[in-house]
Structure 1
């Protein structure tokens, strides 16, 4: 996979965070003052509008009455207890995330760096949930320290993998996404295992500025002011750092120290925001982008001593505007139940897609034909396939035997013969569809990942990272929400429509002057974030108390599966596997280079489109059977190439078997390790696949992918 070069990789003009402060243009104090006055007025207007919105009948006149001394006690109580704390929280969170994101973009010299893409929010959220599991009511300061430690650990890992952002936006976002998914899986696991202790944290995990009083805001405000002031004082160093490491070193700047201090302050601010309102998504990406776009038109404003405060104001505008939009679109109690972070994520992910579309292609992508590939003889390939078939059979047998009740082989034999007892019959009637769903869905995901990696020529591409898995999840949940109690075929159709629609969207957005591997991945990650937020939004709108439904789809579980739900995967495999086998030679050529494909007579666009449609359908079938399961499409093809080489004649069966084995083992372990409680299979595959993904990034971090 090619990587976008560090400086000049983004065609963002003056909005590019990697760009040094402008030279040759004199600052215009009048225009700078006008920009700040407009931003302050915008924040004030949105804050006032937000104060007038809520579930009670207190409106503008009542609030004006309070100012003139003629208001009643009800209006005062509503303002003090509910609306004012919410607006103050929006101001604190928006300013903190705006400052944090702007500082991180400057340190990484990367327009896509933010508390979200560097997994700071995910790390902070995980430690807060981990603390909640204890059942202890920890003070605000303790929760803040825990969030800071978690966010700093996650950011340090991501920056180390991506060499501080020096290898371009794609690698940074991939590392951050993998770390975020691993931490999110652990967080969901904690919420499932400790449902009582973490009650209410699912919606809060999307970022909610609802507050009970002003205690949190009052404690957070001094930290915000001190950290923000420290960043502004540090701003001259950031101006020098923007010139490049070599130039900054020549000018006497301690580059390493500057980066460390800036990252510490940025993570502190992001952790502060998470402690107050949960991980409100993409504000730390959107606010600095808005600030830099404005700064690009006003000479002198791109200096960090002005840019940082402007990003803080932009963050306040983003959070307040999202909250106002939410209150207007979903009035009443339902609007309170929906986190503001869902709206900011939808908007911020759109900004990320816009940035990704503006990235310049850095040249041909690296061929997946050589990634992890060791040519294998026919005898070696036959041996690998034989071992994997035996392993899958063993996993099937283990799936039948293990669970909340242990069975014997004789019990299974009698059940197949129709001679088992009532209890054994009941257990196996429930367990068999789950075992088959795991094996078949795993095979489908392994094949989908193989196809995506070949078409995108990206060894780190995967259906979930390209948004296809999330789109299938949105379609399935939407079918359940709109047609409750409907047949499973409607859910499967919804998943297929969602997957195909998402694929069409990602493909169209990424196919700008030719399909770019970098754009495909970055656009897919942005669309995937939108899909996750939409699933949460659909659940909260239709059944806000049934968070288990969302967690089931988001974590990938075989719980409650029936024989009917297995059939879509069977049909998809029967129809699409022969097509993939037929296209195996085309996959070999596509994995190398577009020019080679054209020379050899491959109808490039039509073949690529057909393969990606097959990928979307395989993913949709898998999601309809077991929900959203990530990283299987990454691990299975990569291991297959390392075992049998890059020829898709060999990779296709091996990747299918590896995918089946991985999901089957994960499902069996999830049903057995803490029985009768269960761990969803998708969480285990993420906890296995995400570290493997990070390992792949780390192993190749000194070479462009």
Structure 2
């Protein structure tokens, strides 16, 4: 993929040659920096005047004139000044980090978020908190650095340093981030006391209790920033391309390695101070490059990097000011600043995705892991999978915090079981059925979305549909506490359909592009996750379990009425999908083939995506947000029975049901009486397979 306008991404760096120097206008460059610094100063001063106490502008001005009181001084020193200083430090660090990563990857969508640096750093910090030990700041920073570096190395290796385009880079980063987030949520659920308060902090909060963290991190950020600026000439040469840079005598490998190490160090320091503040490392460099593209001579990294640092300060301070103005009072303290930056950054990501155009034809899902299969093989596969699903169903009834026997289940069905057995099975049966039916729905939803998007790596959660359904469900629970479950189901369906409509409209620019659909979906999905956090923090700040339950996918506390929506959705939608099986075969190949064969392309595609959204919404109401089932099930189905959707549809449904059912049973049994949410297990199972898919297609493309 490439960018419509060179000013929108690292491609603009090609203008940094001698001609750019001759056209440079020093006065204009100085003016840009003066304006940026002035904006940072103004936002910082405004932020100092905002807070929960009654101390206002007059009181702060009184401190300057010597007429202020002790209360104003205490508020300034203990609360507001540390918060502003943290915003400046984090904005500087993430602006520099994101700019360096975009230059190394030569990709406008590279950032500490999309490369999973923040997720890796956050995971190691939470892992350290689980020990219950109070570790020194330097140790926490070192752990965050190691975690972020490991995650970035994996993502860059899979995406060949970003050489295969934005979509592969963001997909690899999203998969790695989801796996690390699943592990992090698991730690929070298992060690609730040790990690108390880290849920909101996990969205990025610049609230500080003093300046100790900022003071310790500031010298390292300053040194790393200076090192990057000194490294600027090498980054300028690297922007010309690996071959050209090598001819000019640049050690490309060493330049990349040092740049990534410095970028990860800066991002890790930001996480250690304020948590993973989302998308600042994406937004700030984009702003800097847009400005630099309009000012001759500013495209060189020695100017671009400081400008990105200032832009990062503007983004973080602006988000904090906006938050405090929009949500005055104590609530503004509880809401993480990272929620606002993530919403802004997700919008920037969607904007960038809309500016990207395809570099070539998309690989057909019909040819991915699809080998011709005989009817006998298909029959054997279906029979084996059906038997496995029945076995998983029985295991779900028998296993859990209390082990039962087949006789207990038989007596329960006959209505002659004891009180304890009846109580256990009354609680367990809706959970088992919810997992089974929701898994089948997600398997079918993944099948349709992969065919329509013509991308074997697409799935409902990566397209934002799952997140939208989660937003709708959580909103209904919060706004209508104690409401009938059909209200929650309807809200989830509305959320899924609305999100789908938004993603579809944004991605459908000059025709529906597969890559654009995935990138827009990932941006919208990130925004949906932040909205869920915002809703929970605003309405029930101490009840993080509710958010974690929806975000991790759990069958805990499910009742029969929560099973009915997904059962009804399957009864209605499966016949429609079966009816459109031939259209799915054609759509998975090529738009031109579909038109030649008389398929009403846009109408059929829209109808199938609506079916996908409804199936996903039903699954979310049953078990919450579960990822990767919609990826694994259809992909494994094609590898077993070929690409014909007449065969893929039943096999994908069975595989989805089997995967979620086994994950739910294992989650209820392995560490009983504690439980691991099913969605966390499917993410931990699905992520390695997803990375394997990316790695395998990487090698085939070489």
TM-score (norm 2): 0.99
Aligned to 2:437: 440
SS in 1 for 2:208: coil
Question: How many Å separate the matches in 1 of 2:16 and 2:247?
Answer: 19
- Tell whether the 8 Å contact from 1:21 to 1:242 is kept in structure 2 after alignment: no
Aligned ranges 1:2-401 → 2 under 5 Å: 4=1, 9-19=2-12, 20-23=14-17, 24-25=19-20, 26-401=23-398
- Tell whether the 8 Å contact from 2:288 to 2:304 is kept in structure 1 after alignment: yes
Moved over 6 A (4+): none
Question: How many Å separate the matches in 2 of 1:153 and 1:525?
Answer: 22
Calculate the aligned-residue CA RMSD, in Å: 0.8
Cα distance, 1:482 vs structure 2 = 0.8
- Tell whether the 8 Å contact from 1:381 to 1:650 is kept in structure 2 after alignment: yes
Moved more, 81-90 or 24-33: 24-33
Question: How many Å separate the matches in 2 of 1:161 and 1:21?
Answer: 29
- Tell whether the 8 Å contact from 1:235 to 1:304 is kept in structure 2 after alignment: yes
The match for 1:484 among 481, 485, 492 is 481
Question: How many Å separate the matches in 2 of 1:143 and 1:498?
Answer: 39
- Tell whether the 8 Å contact from 2:97 to 2:267 is kept in structure 1 after alignment: yes
- Tell whether the 8 Å contact from 1:97 to 1:312 is kept in structure 2 after alignment: yes
Cα distance, 1:365 vs structure 2 = 1.2
Question: How many Å separate the matches in 2 of 1:688 and 1:206?
Answer: 25
Cα distance, 1:105 vs structure 2 = 0.2
Question: How many Å separate the matches in 2 of 1:503 and 1:14?
Answer: 30
- Tell whether the 8 Å contact from 1:15 to 1:295 is kept in structure 2 after alignment: no
SS in 2 for 1:486: coil
SS in 1 for 2:501: helix
Aligned to 2:694: 697
Cα distance, 1:14 vs structure 2 = 2.1
Cα distance, 1:11 vs structure 2 = 1.7
Aligned to 1:514: 511
Moved more, 9-18 or 28-37: 9-18
Question: How many Å separate the matches in 2 of 1:117 and 1:303?
Answer: 24
Aligned to 1:617: 614
Cα distance, 1:189 vs structure 2 = 0.1
Question: How many Å separate the matches in 2 of 1:624 and 1:406?
Answer: 28
Question: How many Å separate the matches in 2 of 1:658 and 1:681?
Answer: 15
Cα distance, 1:55 vs structure 2 = 0.5
Deviations 1:632-690 (A, max 9, x none): 00000000000000000000000000000000000000000000000000000000001
Question: How many Å separate the matches in 1 of 2:324 and 2:3?
Answer: 35
Deviations 1:546-581 (A, max 9, x none): 100000000000000000000000000000000000
SS in 2 for 1:298: coil
Cα distance, 1:704 vs structure 2 = 4.9
Aligned to 2:595: 598
Cα distance, 1:10 vs structure 2 = 1.5
- Tell whether the 8 Å contact from 2:470 to 2:550 is kept in structure 1 after alignment: yes
- Tell whether the 8 Å contact from 2:36 to 2:310 is kept in structure 1 after alignment: yes
Aligned to 1:526: 523
Question: How many Å separate the matches in 2 of 1:153 and 1:693?
Answer: 18
Deviations 1:299-336 (A, max 9, x none): 11110000000000000000000000000111111110
Question: How many Å separate the matches in 2 of 1:18 and 1:247?
Answer: 15
The match for 1:582 among 579, 584, 595 is 579
Question: How many Å separate the matches in 2 of 1:59 and 1:636?
Answer: 58
Cα distance, 1:22 vs structure 2 = 3.5
Question: How many Å separate the matches in 1 of 2:3 and 2:191?
Answer: 44
- Tell whether the 8 Å contact from 1:462 to 1:633 is kept in structure 2 after alignment: yes
- Tell whether the 8 Å contact from 1:185 to 1:687 is kept in structure 2 after alignment: yes
Question: How many Å separate the matches in 2 of 1:598 and 1:607?
Answer: 11
- Tell whether the 8 Å contact from 1:558 to 1:625 is kept in structure 2 after alignment: yes
Question: How many Å separate the matches in 2 of 1:102 and 1:693?
Answer: 28
Question: How many Å separate the matches in 1 of 2:263 and 2:628?
Answer: 30
- Tell whether the 8 Å contact from 1:404 to 1:675 is kept in structure 2 after alignment: yes
- Tell whether the 8 Å contact from 1:22 to 1:299 is kept in structure 2 after alignment: no
Cα distance, 1:15 vs structure 2 = 2.9
Question: How many Å separate the matches in 2 of 1:207 and 1:128?
Answer: 13
Question: How many Å separate the matches in 1 of 2:629 and 2:357?
Answer: 30
TM-score (norm 1): 0.99
Cα distance, 1:366 vs structure 2 = 1.0
Question: How many Å separate the matches in 2 of 1:640 and 1:202?
Answer: 37
Question: How many Å separate the matches in 1 of 2:146 and 2:269?
Answer: 11
Cα distance, 1:16 vs structure 2 = 1.8
Matched, 1:459 2:456: yes
Cα distance, 1:65 vs structure 2 = 0.5
Cα distance, 1:631 vs structure 2 = 0.1
Cα distance, 1:521 vs structure 2 = 0.3
SS in 1 for 2:10: coil
SS in 1 for 2:461: coil
Question: How many Å separate the matches in 1 of 2:280 and 2:570?
Answer: 41
Question: How many Å separate the matches in 2 of 1:97 and 1:17?
Answer: 17
Cα distance, 1:233 vs structure 2 = 0.3
SS in 2 for 1:498: helix
Question: How many Å separate the matches in 2 of 1:11 and 1:17?
Answer: 12
Question: How many Å separate the matches in 1 of 2:360 and 2:194?
Answer: 51
Question: How many Å separate the matches in 2 of 1:14 and 1:336?
Answer: 37
Question: How many Å separate the matches in 1 of 2:4 and 2:98?
Answer: 19
Cα distance, 1:122 vs structure 2 = 0.1
Cα distance, 1:363 vs structure 2 = 2.7
The match for 2:552 among 551, 555, 561 is 555
Aligned to 2:685: 688
- Tell whether the 8 Å contact from 1:21 to 1:239 is kept in structure 2 after alignment: no
Question: How many Å separate the matches in 2 of 1:396 and 1:99?
Answer: 52
Matched, 1:651 2:648: yes
* Number of equivalenced pairs: 698
Matched, 1:541 2:534: no
Question: How many Å separate the matches in 2 of 1:641 and 1:542?
Answer: 44
Deviations 1:59-118 (A, max 9, x none): 000000101111000000000000000000000000000000000000000000000000
Unaligned runs of 5+ in 1: none
